[in-house]
Amino acid sequence: MAEIATAILMVIGGAFMLLAGIGIFRMPDLFMRMQAATKAATLGIGCMLLAVAIHFQDVSVATRALLVTAFVFMTAPVAAHVIARAAYSVGVPLWEGTLRDELGEKQRGGEGKGKESAGGGSAYGGSSLRSDGDGQ
Amino acid sequence: MTFLASTLVGNTLVASAATVALGMAGIGFSLAFIRLVRGPSLPDRVVSLDLLGTLSVGIIAAYDIMTDQPILLDAATVMALVAFLGTVAFAHYVERKGQDG
């Protein structure tokens, strides 16, 4: 019974890791790539470490496996958020099929639909998070 | 094949599942590495490096089960820590230096 659960969890975890790789390879945009990679890889290694905890049936091993799982589940969204914010602030282009850029609209004063007053100021200033218009 | 036979511990179901999982994780690792090499911007490379660290935690876990050595989980812990800290540090660098820094 434990072997079956271990095998199933390992195959599911490997499949999620494969999905993370495909996502980061195929997605058209940094932010899409990031969300595919972060979520799929986090779920994949969650399954994999749960398989470790079930397979060894030892309290210390299970504790370490759950500790790593909890650590990754807490830090992966933080890391994704931080790198997404940094990438947006230096003006990494969005996908051309993007429909709404709510953060950019809000920072340009709230009235914009995305095309007005690019300005072309320095992207490295501290206050304005994104200063190069619609990011095409 | 001799490598597999020497490392496996008799349990063929778990062993074959570990082989399949390692294969899939290896393909994902290769795709992330391709993105690391040809990612158009620096944040792309940072994201794929983060994915490489996360995937290596999963690969270590699968190898753990395959070889029946739970001591390798410590390496997985350190790998997760280093991946997170590296991503945060690179994010600060990107935010300060700009896209082509």
User: What dihedral angle (degrees, nearest 10) is formed by the CA atoms of A94, A26, B78, B74?
Assistant: 150
| Residue among A19, A71, A92 minimizing CB distance to B99 | A92
Asked if residues A57 and B68 have their Cβ atoms less than 8 Å apart, the reply is no
> Which residues make Cβ contacts (< 8 Å) with residue A57, sequence separation at least 6?
A2
Contact across the interface for B24 and A34, Cβ inside 8 Å: no
Measured distance CA(A61)–CA(A48) in Å, rounded: 13
Smallest CA–CA separation between B100 and chain A, in Å? 9
Question: CA A85, A91, A92 angle in degrees (round to 5)?
Answer: 85
Contact across the interface for A90 and B95, Cβ inside 8 Å: yes
| Residue among B32, B43, B88 minimizing CB distance to A79 | B88
Nearest to A22 by CA among A32, A8, A12: A32
Contact across the interface for B17 and A10, Cβ inside 8 Å: yes
Model pLDDT for residues B80-91, shown as the tens digit of each residue? 999 999 999 999
* Average pLDDT across chain A, whole number: 81
Give the pair of three-digit tokens for residue A131. Answer: 């200063």
How big, in percent rounded to 5, are the helix, strand and coil portions of chain B?
85, 0, 15
Share of chain A above pLDDT 90, in %: 51
Per-residue pLDDT in tens (0 to 9) along chain A, 136 residues: 888 999 999 999 999 999 999 999 999 989 999 998 899 999 999 999 999 999 999 999 999 999 999 999 999 999 999 999 998 888 888 888 888 888 888 877 755 444 444 444 434 444 444 444 444 4
* Average pLDDT across chain B, whole number: 86
* Count of alpha carbons within 13 angstroms of residue A123, beta-carbon side: 24
Measured distance CA(B53)–CA(A2) in Å, rounded: 28
Smallest CA–CA separation between A119 and chain B, in Å? 18
Q: What is the pLDDT at residue A119?
A: 41
For residue A86, the one-letter residue type is A
Strand runs (DSSP E) across B57-96, as ranges?
none
Measured distance CA(B43)–CA(B101) in Å, rounded: 11
Model pLDDT for residues A30-39, shown as the tens digit of each residue? 999 999 889 9
DSSP assignment, residue A119?
A: B
What residue in A sits closest to B16 (Cα-Cα)?
A7
Give the pair of three-digit tokens for residue B10. Answer: 């008799």
Model pLDDT for residues A21-55, shown as the tens digit of each residue? 999 999 998 999 999 889 999 999 999 999 999 99
Measured distance CA(A33)–CA(A45) in Å, rounded: 18
Contact across the interface for B32 and A24, Cβ inside 8 Å: yes
Determine which of A9, A29, A66, A68 to mutate to test the interface with B (most B C-beta atoms within 10 Å). A68
Measured distance CA(A8)–CA(B74) in Å, rounded: 24
Question: What 3-state DSSP class applies to A24?
Answer: helix
